[in-house]
């Protein structure tokens, strides 16, 4: 891979988007590589959480940029058809981040602009370093957020705030992103990866199969009517009751001992 670095240890995959010369902007090659590596990760039982972050800039600053957007140099001459294809190319790995059985955490270490904010929003959880900056600057470039931003931002922060961010293109800092619900947590930049790994380890200590089913229940039910959503949840609840982890988790509680949860 030319633009990604994958490190796996202790059931956590740290996936770094690394294009130092372009502040990790997403070009077609990076999107293809993301799709490939996420497909591989989905098939691996030794990975339970994926932490997505940005690599250092060309001066070695690790907290300059998470992802500074889609690659403007690639997009500048797009025809309408090419632009559509580029958007669809991004949607495949973005939906993988959203729907894969592993939990995905964006550790946002600097600029999360345009497509950078959009890829963070495709993850299950976002933790921002205190120097992170978020924005949807696309309307200032004469385009719209096209990597899911017009849809995911409104779902995360509500329609009014999403419209304000998209129409004004204003930058917001990490604390404002936390205040409006765009990120789950803000930490000192030096603590970003430790904080993301601590959350990952807490999630890993739970029943991994149950966590992956809960993720599917939340995602699938979100756009359903409440009656059908709760029925879908009951069906998934039934499935978790046939697992080793359910017998072990409940048995351990009744026997007053620590549970040994193993299922994926």
User: Angle 208-221/244-254 helices, nearest 10 degrees?
Assistant: 110
Smallest separation, CB 173 to ligand CO8 (Å)? 14
Active site residue 138: yes
Smallest separation, CB 77 to ligand CO8 (Å)? 13
Smallest separation, CB 253 to ligand CO8 (Å)? 47
207 lies in the binding site for ligand CO8 (CB under 6 A): no
Chain Cα centroid distance, residue 82: 25
Q: Which of 40, 74, 82, 118 is catalytic?
A: 118
Interface residue with ligand CO8, options 2, 45, 60, 73 (CB under 6 A): 73
Residues 32, 34, 35, 39: is their CA dihedral positive or negative? Answer: positive
Three-class SS state of 148: coil
Which of 116, 110, 107 lies closest to 137 in space, CA to CA?
A: 116
Active site residue 29: no
80 lies in the binding site for ligand CO8 (CB under 6 A): no
Q: Which stretch binds ligand CO8 (CB under 6 A): 2-10, 70-78, 186-194, 243-251?
A: 70-78
**Contact (CB, 8 A) for 84 and 30:** no
The CA distance from 199 to 8, in Å, is 16
E strands, the chain, in order? 4-9, 12-17, 49-54, 65-67, 103-108, 111-113, 125-129, 133-135, 172-173, 185-187
71 lies in the binding site for ligand CO8 (CB under 6 A): yes
Q: x/- string (CB under 6 A) for ligand CO8, residues 86-115?
A: xx-----------------------x-xxx
134 lies in the binding site for ligand CO8 (CB under 6 A): no
Residues with active-site annotation: 118, 138
Footprint on this chain of ligand CO8 (rule: CB under 6 A):
21-23, 25, 68-73, 83, 86-87, 111, 113-115, 137-138, 141, 145-147
């Amino acid at each position: 891979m030319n633009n990604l670095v994958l490190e796996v240890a202790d059931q956590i995959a740290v996936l770094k988007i690394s294009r130092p010369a372009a502040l990790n902007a997403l070009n077609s090659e990076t999107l293809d590589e993301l799709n490939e590596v996420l497909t591989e990760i989905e098939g691996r039982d030794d990975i339970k959480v994926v932490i997505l972050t940005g690599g250092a800039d060309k001066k070695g600053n690790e907290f300059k940029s998470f992802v500074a957007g889609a690659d403007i140099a690639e997009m500048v001459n797009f025809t309408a058809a090419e632009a559509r294809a580029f958007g669809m190319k991004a949607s495949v790995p973005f939906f993988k981040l959203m729907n894969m059985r592993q939990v995905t955490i964006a550790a946002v270490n600097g600029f999360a602009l345009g497509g950078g904010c959009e890829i963070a929003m495709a993850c299950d959880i976002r933790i921002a370093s205190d120097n992170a900056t978020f924005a949807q600057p696309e309307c200032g470039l004469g385009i719209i957020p096209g990597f899911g931003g017009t849809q995911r931002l409104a779902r995360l922060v509500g329609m009014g705030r999403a419209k304000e961010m998209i129409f004004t293109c204003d930058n917001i800092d990490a604390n404002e992103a936390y205040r409006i619900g765009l990120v789950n947590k803000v930490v000192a930049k030096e603590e970003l990866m430790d904080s993301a790994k601590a959350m990952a380890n807490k999630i890993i200590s739970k029943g991994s199969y149950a966590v992956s089913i809960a993720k599917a229940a939340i995602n699938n039910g979100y756009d359903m009517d409440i009656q059908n959503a709760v029925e879908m949840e009951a069906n998934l609840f039934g499935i978790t009751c046939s697992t080793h982890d359910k017998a072990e988790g409940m048995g351990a509680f009744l026997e007053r001992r620590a549970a040994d949860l193993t299922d994926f």
